[in-house]
Amino acid sequence: MLANAGLEVIQGRDSELRQFRIAMQERSSRLIWGPKDSGKTALIQHAIAGLPESTRRRCIYWCGAATGRELTAHFVRGLYEAGDALVRKKVHADRASAATLGRWLHSQSLIRLRGILLTATERTEFWFFIDQLPAPNQAIVKLMKELINRCKTPVYLAGSGCTAAEIGSAWSLFWTDEYRIRLGPLPDDTARELLESCIQRFGLSSLDLEGFREEILHLSCRLPGAIVKMCELASDTRYHYRDQIKTKVIHVDYLMRMDRSNSWSMNR
């Protein structure tokens, strides 16, 4: 996808972005949920990018599948890179440095890493973001609970749904709509604006677009990421027959790419 596509994906998400920013200002944890390609990642990254640099450095972001240890080590690394005094003291006391941080993290027990993480976040303000994680296991949910309840540190989890079947026992952390931000289909007029923007961006105007617009809106379910990705595929001449676009073939390939992406995330 084009580097600027993320800006298009948050088009029409002003209300959700405002809710998210208020939650971050208030240091209140949230579940950002919606189907794949509804723009969850773009929303998170856009919100972080809009923060002052001093705050942005203390936003620790994880994307993809993870074990409890991987996530804990990643958060400790983030605290070290953000300059947290406690974490740096612990690392340097073991004669490790930025250059050997990976080896140091690997050599520590999970209990010690967890203790360092929780103690550090009790003392300094951080924000944690967990994105594209399959339903978190008990160890990860326990870590999230300790960060939120014991350390008063906000955790922002992106999920495909809001029920126990979809996000496991993390549901107990975001059990009412007060703690959730939903990203659903775009309103029809906003989806059409996004589609026209993508037609221009991906150079589709010279092609025969009769029926293309309505098909894309229908097949994408008006999800912004799906609109952008299918329009990007439509720019590939392999999906052209003369000046017509093979929209249904694009949709099949888009779904196959989604399946591969989901499999990679689950097996990572």
User: Would you write out the chain's pLDDT as a tens digit for each of its 268 residues?
Assistant: 333 445 567 888 999 999 999 999 999 999 999 999 999 999 999 999 999 999 999 999 999 999 999 999 999 999 999 999 999 999 999 999 999 999 999 999 999 999 999 999 999 999 999 998 988 999 999 999 999 999 999 999 999 999 999 999 999 999 999 999 999 999 999 999 999 999 999 999 999 999 999 999 999 999 999 999 999 999 999 999 999 999 999 999 999 988 776 654 555 5
DSSP state of 149: I
Residue 258 confidence (pLDDT): 84
Structure confidence at residue 262 (pLDDT): 65
The domain boundary residue, chosen from 182, 207, 235: 182
Last residue of a domain, one of 132, 150, 182: 182
Range of the domain at 256: 188-267
Domain boundary among 139, 162, 182: 182
Give yes or no: residues 131 and 150 share one domain: yes
**pTM for this model (two decimals):** 0.91
Q: What is the pLDDT of residue 267?
A: 56
Cα–Cα dist 75/58, whole Å: 10
Specify whether 22 is located in the same domain as 41. Answer: yes
Specify the 3-state DSSP secondary structure of 155. strand
Residue 5 is predicted with a pLDDT of 44
Q: Is 199 found in the same domain as 235?
A: yes
- Is there a single domain that holds both residue 263 and residue 241? yes
Look at residue 266 in the predicted model and tell me its pLDDT: 53
Residue 3: strand, helix, or coil: coil
